[in-house]
Each structure stands twice: as structure tokens, then as C-alpha cells.
Structure 1
Amino acid sequence: MKKEIVILDTIIKPGTSHTLNFNMARLYTTTVVDVPVIIHRSKKDGPVVLLTGGVHGDEFNGVEAVRQLISKKVAKPKIGMIIAMPVVNIFGFLNMQREFPDGRDLNRVFPGTKNGSLASRFAYQVTTNILPHVDLIMDFHTGGAQRFNAPQIRVDPSETESLELAKIFHPPFLMHSRNLSKTFRESCGKLGKKYLLFEGGKSQQSDKGITGVAVNGAIRVLNHLGMLSQPDLLVEPNFPTIVIKESSWLRAKYSGLLHPKVSHGKRVEKGEFLAVITDPYGTMRHKVKSPNAGYILNVNHSPLVYQGDAIFHISKDEKQKKPS
């Protein structure tokens, strides 16, 4: 790690802590909106880790996970440096919305452009001002649109270093997942940065259990890197990690009221009863059955669905293995 690091025009010297403000935009009222960037640098050289939550403004579990890592002083490393951005999309967070005020999904405009839309400009500033200093990103998300994700890490299997760290994180599910175009994850990968994408719970809801999985996993990774200053916070997992190499969405055959009968994380067999779709008038009752054996990775919690809506995400792996 370099002796002198400059982030947002501030020199980050060894053994110092800073709370910087990413204030690149204003509200209609001309009020400045600050995006706090919390930095703790150890006196000893080591890895630089970026913790991010709230890339989507309505995903509160990620915000809470990063908040806890700061509150527990995990973000003050024994070696190296930790940069924490608990609420990346502060604009969406204020309005409890996924998108930026310009209607764009921040996680679909990376690496951004200097003179583009508001979301694109913000992505550009993160890419140019923060990412060059970083070795590893742990980015915390939830399911969207009332879909509840089982706690999982998604990683591109071709990125072998990230895959090894995903195993150390030790989530209940480890999803092999290719990088999507223009995402934060893809931009980090192209820059050669190690990246872990955590998914758990659903938007506009805080879930203590999901947050606990996220926090404990991040602590295990930081401990592995020699950065954990409080070893008593380390929690060894008491569950196996299930590796998912293939999965698919089961979609509603009819529009109506959705009544799920299984929860996320459950192992189901082919033909197993998963849900009922009814109409409001008591004349239609359709049983939803699993098309194959696998694990329920996501459940749609919306009470109403249209024909074609995604209702269950189910793994297709017949033989699940614990990572070696």
C-alpha cells in the first residue's frame, strides 16, 4: 500500500481516520446532498477493502450490514485500509426508491461517464476516485420488487481469487454467476479488483437474520486478510455452504393472488407443491409445483402476480457440494 493515498482531494495518511463527503449533486432546492465516505487506515500496510451498501436506495439490509461493521469497529483494520460507504445511493434512500432521481438504476450505468446522466456521473466518480485505491469490494444487496433472496454470495467462477474469498465468507449459498453488463461488479472485474456480491432479504425490509449472515461473513473475510482487530467477533459457521452452478426462475402461469407454501432456502423435490394462485372471486385455484429438484433461492412475496411474473428462483443442481 502506498504511503500517500489521496481520496476526494484528501490525503489519507497511515494511522488516520476520515469522514469525507461525496457531494457531487444538489436537490431541486439547491440543497447539497452528501454521501458519507468513512475511511480508516491502519499504521501498517495491507489490503484496501471497500464496503458498500445501498447501491439501490430501497435495499436496507445492505445499509444495516455496513453500519454494523462500522459500529462494531470492524471497519478499523489491524492492517491496511477500509473504506465504507453505507448508503451509496443516498438519493434513492431518501425516497425509499431503487433508482436515482433521474430514473436510472445506478447498478446498470457503470463505469459511468463524466458528462452523462446524474447516475452515470456518480458511477464515474466512484470508478475514478475510489476504485483505483481498492483491492477488494464487498457489496451488500437484497432482492427487489418484493422478492426475498436467500442469503447468498454471487461470484463469477472465472475470477478465482474472488471465488476463494467467497468460500471464506461462507454464505449459506454460493452462486456461480456471470457478470452483467454495466454493473458495478463488471466494472470492478475489468479493473482486476476482487469482488463479492452479497444478496439477502428483500427491499424496503430490514431482516436481522440476513444482516447477521452478511456481517459475520465479512468479518471472516477480513480475518483471513489479517485485518480484523477484534478476533472475539469472529463467528465460525455452523452450516454448510451450498454451491449453486445452475438455476432458473419459475414463472406464474396465471394472474391472480399468490399464496407461497415454502420459504427461501428449502430443498424441494420435482413436483413438490410450492404455492397456490387464486382469483379474487373463488372460482380459480391453481397449484404451483416445482419443475425440478433443487433449493429455493428466491420467493416472490407480492400478494398479487401477473401471468409471466417470476415467483420462485430454484437451483437445478442435482448434487450439491460443500466447497473444498
Structure 2
Amino acid sequence: MAKAQNNDLIILGHTIKLGESKTIDFSIAKLYTSTKVEIPIIIERAAVPGPTVLLTAGIHGDEINGVEIVRQVIAKKINKPIIGTVICIPILNIFGFLNADRVFPDGRDLNRVFPGTKTGSLASRVAYHLTKKILPHIDYCMDFHTGGASRFNAAQVRLRPNDEELLELAKIFNPPFIVFSSNIEKSFRSTCAKMNIPIILFEGGKSLESNKHIVKHGVDGVLRMLRHFNMLSEKHLVPEIVSPAIIIEKSKWIRAQKSGLLHVKIECNKHVMKDEFLATITDPYGTMRFKVKSPNEGYIINVNHAPIVHQGDAIFHISTADAAAMPSEEDEMED
């Protein structure tokens, strides 16, 4: 049963009736100059009741691909449903977006402070209002991210293991990869799960970069999801599923064994064999050249694009049939 099927939708003191469109400015704090910083929330309601779907991006201010995915959904009017409600928040961390930075001005990661507190840090207050004022109205969520730092993620949906409902939704979204990844405490994904809101977490590309191929995967996934919910207008063409997503149940990081200049020799998404040549690490003086080889057969789902690395840095993320789950690695997986 959709949460807002038969009632007016009331968010942050604003009432949105069936058939109405409204943009609400979600304002938490000001800049030092007393300039207001507002988070636009774009709400589109059909005249016919139905599910309420939330699309979010920019939880990390430097993750541009997600912002562009939600922007295109709005610009192409994909967010105007024929039943139900679509709520779009293209940039949750406006402060980080203004600074081209992952975190809030106080150094807090918004995706590590959910469900937040009313009187806590700035990031915690944003998380609190999102959790208390918006999420109770939501039936489904799609949250868009990119790889952190210089790490480029293959287009993928992440979900916790043994969640059959989410797995079926992820297959409908149809990214190239579906990656099993446990929920992290105090993340947005974890909070949605505790509130029984199915959430599709899409990852693709890297921070401070807009990649048209990654963006297309995200927009196509939104189209497929809204069609599945019978919310999508017939004027929108939905790309057919050419091949099913590759499901990755276990994976591990390949780490630099030397410090130096990194020269990557393969593309992300590639299927590699055991001992296949992946990269070289050299010193700046031409005296050292170390070959990085694949420890096993698998799919490369993340590549470090940094030109220099230190010993121990994560340089590739590879699927594996026999790798145990590595909780200490989750921060590098989850963005």
C-alpha cells in the first residue's frame, strides 16, 4: 500500500495535492555571509494515487555523476508520473557541492551520521530532517553515488546479501553489475532499510567528473524502475535489457605492493584471468618497474586513476568466487 495514496502530501510544512507540482526549498543553515543555503526538493504528483519514489544524489558534494542523473530525469520530465509521486533531490550536500568537496564544512560525512540529531552537527541536522520529514512518506528510494577520491567505479547497484526484494528490483534497474555489500551503520542506506524502504544504491564513475556512459546507465535504470511501478508515461522510451546484470557476491581489493607512479593497463568492467597483467608501478627515476597481476579470475569493478600511489593503496577491486567478506574494506566500497 503506497504511503501517500489517498491523502495530501505534507512535507516541511508544505501541502502538495494529487496532480500538483511543487518545488520546496529545504533550508537548514546559512553561509558565514548570512546567505541562505537551500536544498531544492522537486515534487511531481500525478492525479492518480500510487507509490512515492524518492531520487537522491549529492550526499557527497563532489559526486557529480549522481547529480547529473537526477538532473536529466527532471529535464526530460521522466519525473512526471502518471500515477503516484516522484520526489527529486539532486543535491543533498549543497555545502560540499559549493566547495567541490565530499564532506560538510565541519568535516562530517553526511553518509555516516544518519539518522541524525536535531541539535547535532550541521551534517547531522540535515540527516535528521531528511529522516524525520521526508522518508516517512517514501515507498521506494534510488540514491546515486560515484567512487571516492580517484577510484572509478563500474556502473553497479549495491545491496545487502540475502535481500530478495532488493535483488529483484536491482535486476529491473539492470546495471552492468550487482554487488553484494553489507549496509554500513549510520549510512542513508542503512536508515532506509531500518524504515523498511527498499533502496537502490547506484554507483558509477569517480568524483569531480561527469561521465556520459555512467549517467546513461543511471537514467536508464530510473526509466525501468518507474515503468515497473506503472508510473512512467508512455512517451518515454525504455531501453530493453540486452543482457542481465552480472551478480558479484564476493570481491576483494588488489593493493599496491610498491609506492610510485601507477600506470593502469586495463579498463574498468573488464573480465580478467588469473595472473593477467593489470598495471605497472614505477619510481620517478627509471630504476624500478613492478608488474601488478590479477590474483584470480574475475571482473574489475573499480580502478584507481590516481597517477601516484603509496604501498597498500587500493588500486583495483575485483570479483572473486572465494574471497571472504572484509568488513574493514567497506569504507572504500561504500560512497
Code of the aligned partner of 1:270? K
| Structural mapping, 1:224-239, within 5 Å | 224-239=228-243
| Structural mapping, 1:186-205, within 5 Å | 186-205=190-209
Q: Determine if the alignment matches structure 1 residue 91 to structure 2 residue 95.
A: yes
**CA displacement 1:246-300 (0-9 Å, x = unmatched):** 0000110111000000111000011110000000000110000011110000000
Contact 2:78 2:236 (C-alpha < 8 Å) held by counterparts: no
Code of the aligned partner of 1:78? I
- In the alignment of these two chains, the number of paired residues is 318
Distance across 2 between alignment mates of 1:255 and 1:157: 35
2:74 counterpart SS class: helix
Q: 1:136 maps to which residue?
A: 140
Q: 1:211 maps to which residue?
A: 215
Distance across 1 between alignment mates of 2:178 and 2:266: 21
Which deviates more from structure 2 when the two are superposed, residues 159-168 or residues 73-82?
159-168
Residue 3 of structure 1: how far off its partner (Å): 1.4
Flag as ranges the 4+ runs of structure 1 deviating above 6 A: none
**CA displacement 1:125-159 (0-9 Å, x = unmatched):** 00001100001110000001110000000011333
1:201 counterpart SS class: strand
TM-score (norm: length of structure 2): 0.93
Q: 1:75 maps to which residue?
A: 79
Residue 163 of structure 1: how far off its partner (Å): 1.6
Residue 110 of structure 1: how far off its partner (Å): 0.5
Change (3 A) 1:237 1:264: same
Contact 1:137 1:193 (C-alpha < 8 Å) held by counterparts: yes
| Structural mapping, 1:212-291, within 5 Å | 212-291=216-295
1:254 counterpart SS class: coil
Residue 117 of structure 1: how far off its partner (Å): 0.4
Q: 2:42 aligns with which of 31, 38, 45?
A: 38
Q: Determine if the alignment matches structure 1 residue 60 to structure 2 residue 35.
A: no
Code of the aligned partner of 1:20? I
Percent identical across equivalent pairs? 59
Contact 2:273 2:294 (C-alpha < 8 Å) held by counterparts: yes
Contact 2:58 2:92 (C-alpha < 8 Å) held by counterparts: yes
Residue 162 of structure 1: how far off its partner (Å): 1.8
**CA displacement 1:193-213 (0-9 Å, x = unmatched):** 010000000000000000000
Residue 309 of structure 1: how far off its partner (Å): 0.4
Q: Determine if the alignment matches structure 1 residue 25 to structure 2 residue 29.
A: yes
Q: 2:106 aligns with which of 102, 107, 119?
A: 102
Distance across 1 between alignment mates of 2:43 and 2:62: 24
TM-score (norm: length of structure 1): 0.97
Contact 1:294 1:316 (C-alpha < 8 Å) held by counterparts: yes
1:317 counterpart SS class: coil
Q: Determine if the alignment matches structure 1 residue 111 to structure 2 residue 148.
A: no
Code of the aligned partner of 2:182? R
Contact 2:160 2:181 (C-alpha < 8 Å) held by counterparts: yes
Residue 5 of structure 1: how far off its partner (Å): 1.6
**CA displacement 1:55-111 (0-9 Å, x = unmatched):** 110000000000000011110111000000001111111110000111011001000
Distance across 2 between alignment mates of 1:129 and 1:267: 44
Q: Determine if the alignment matches structure 1 residue 10 to structure 2 residue 14.
A: yes
Contact 2:58 2:91 (C-alpha < 8 Å) held by counterparts: yes
**CA displacement 1:141-199 (0-9 Å, x = unmatched):** 00011100000000113332222111100110011111111100000000000100000
Code of the aligned partner of 1:209? H
Cα RMSD of the aligned pairs, angstroms, is 1.0
